[in-house]
Amino acid sequence: MSKTIDLQVEKSRELIKGYRQHIAELQSKGVTAQQLDKMEADLARLEVAGEECDRLRAQLGEKVHAMNEILQKVKEDFQEQKKLVKTNYEQPYWLKFGIQDRR
């Protein structure tokens, strides 16, 4: 999980632990055991969501790497083909072959 999520889970667990130890004192302030149970359930959901995001980030990283390899190949092929026209034809004919002169 990300550092942000890890830190929040850790801090929240410590808070819940402390609140549970002093629940009698905090009940007069509106804190209930049900609220703490809900917070724990939300923390569990956050951990699951964080792990899922980590898996998706890993998959995305692989896909981006593969895409970048394809992009590099396309760029190389494009440059090769463009060079073929530019070295064999004068500038006025480049547009005929789909090569724009962008100086």
Where exactly are the structural domains of the chain?
3-97
pLDDT reading at 35 higher than 90? yes
pLDDT reading at 20 higher than 90? yes
Find the angle CA(16)-CA(53)-CA(46) to the nearest 5 degrees: 15
pLDDT band of 49, cuts 50, 70, 90: very high
Mean pLDDT score, 85-102 = 89
Q: Which residues of 80-91 are buried (b: 16+ CB within 10 A; e: fewer)?
A: eeeeeeeeeeee
